[in-house]
Amino acid sequence: MEFKDYYDILGVKPDASEAEIKTAYRKLARKFHPDKNKEAGAEDKFKAANEAQEVLLDPEKRRAYDQLRAGGYRGGEQFRPPPDWGQGRQFEFGEGGDFSDFFESLFGHGSAGHGRGHARARRGRDVQAQVQIDLQTAFDGGRTRLAMHDSSGGERVLDVKIPAGIQPGQVIRLAGQGHPGSGGAPAGDLLLEVGIRDDARFRLDGRNVLHVLPVAPWEAALGATVPVPTLAGTVDLRIPPGSQSGRKLRLKARGMPGPTPGDQLVELSIRVPQADSDEQRAAYAALQATFPDYDPRR
């Protein structure tokens, strides 16, 4: 059996803080989650990261593990727990984990011969998962039903309160929805990392929202007031005379809500109508004659 270096697995230093360990674990969990990464070896890396955070986020397991590591053990070396390892030690059984023989030999799960764990009152572990919502839901907030996949591959449908203006990558904590506790202790929490699906009308840029608005040549040349969709409904926008494609107009505080609301940026895109009749083609010819020196490529 090989010794596992949990610090190397997570890519953190031995003196890493709890916050640094959580950040490193979440990064690896997102990268190698079996629901998203189908590459060979991704699931094994996901399980290894899960096992590492199980040890390093538990003060008693980490303290015992650090004592072993301080004895000179390093990742990949042959390892067998010391004969007196299980004496006087109490560890929480890992709840719902898929752990290696190395982990079981140290911390329980009923492995024979070495360090059988003793269950006691202990809060359950938190569970990380990812959910996708649409942009309108992120803007409006409120309660919604979400289907999520946990690390064991199961699916759950939850009634979740979405804060209005939530951003991609933010985490919603659902108390008591994580792994069950042991010995009558409460369950851990469920941490939902929010992703926002692409939207056909809008693109999110921080708290700003970008919308591409098609306009007619005469609206751009002469100016016009036209309706524009926003996430809060349609508003009127004044297009200044002489506008060009690519020009961006700002609708103040029409972006994502928050302590400082974002804006909506409206990018103009001039669309030229198709000339399908002699009269329409003559209109274009007259326009050409009116601007004989105009070269759009110059």
Q: What is the pLDDT of residues 46-90, one digit of tens each?
A: 889 988 998 999 888 898 889 888 877 777 787 777 766 655 565
pLDDT digits (tens, 9 = 90+) for 9-55: 999 999 999 999 999 998 998 898 877 788 888 888 988 998 899 89
Q: What is the pLDDT of residue 113?
A: 36
Query: Higher pLDDT residue, 114 or 197?
Result: 197
Amino acid at residue number 9? I
**Mind listing the domains of the chain with CATH numbers?**
6-107 (1.10.287.110), 127-196 (2.60.260.20), 215-289 (2.60.260.20)
Does residue 184 come out as left (phi exceeding 0), alpha (psi in the -120 to 50 range) or beta?
left
List the beta bridge partners of residue 248.
Answer: 267
Q: Which helix (H) or strand (E) holds 279?
A: helix 278-290
Q: What is d(CA 195, CA 191) in angstroms, rounded to the nearest whole number? A: 13
Q: What is the pLDDT of residue 84?
A: 66
Are 271 and 216 a contacting pair, CB within 8 Å? Answer: yes
118 pLDDT exceeds 60?
A: no
Q: What is the DSSP letter of 245?
A: T
Q: What is the pLDDT of residue 130?
A: 84
The token pair at 99 is: 């752990």
pLDDT digits (tens, 9 = 90+) for 173-203: 998 888 787 666 788 888 899 999 999 999 9
Q: What is the pLDDT of residue 212?
A: 98
Are 93 and 109 a contacting pair, CB within 8 Å? Answer: yes
Are 153 and 34 a contacting pair, CB within 8 Å? Answer: yes
Q: Which of 157-161, 237-241, 269-273 is predicted least confidently? A: 157-161
Task: Give 146-163 as a DSSP string.
Answer: EEEE-TTS-EEEEEEEEP
Average pLDDT over residues 208-231: 97
Look up the pTM and report it. Answer: 0.60
Q: What is the pLDDT of residue 269?
A: 98
Task: Give 80-143 as a DSSP string.
Answer: ---TTTTTT---PPPSS----HHHHHHH-TT-SSS------SBPPPPEEEEEEE-HHHHHH-EE
Q: What is the pLDDT of residue 94?
A: 47
pLDDT digits (tens, 9 = 90+) for 119-178: 445 677 788 888 889 999 999 998 888 776 655 556 778 889 999 999 999 999 998 888
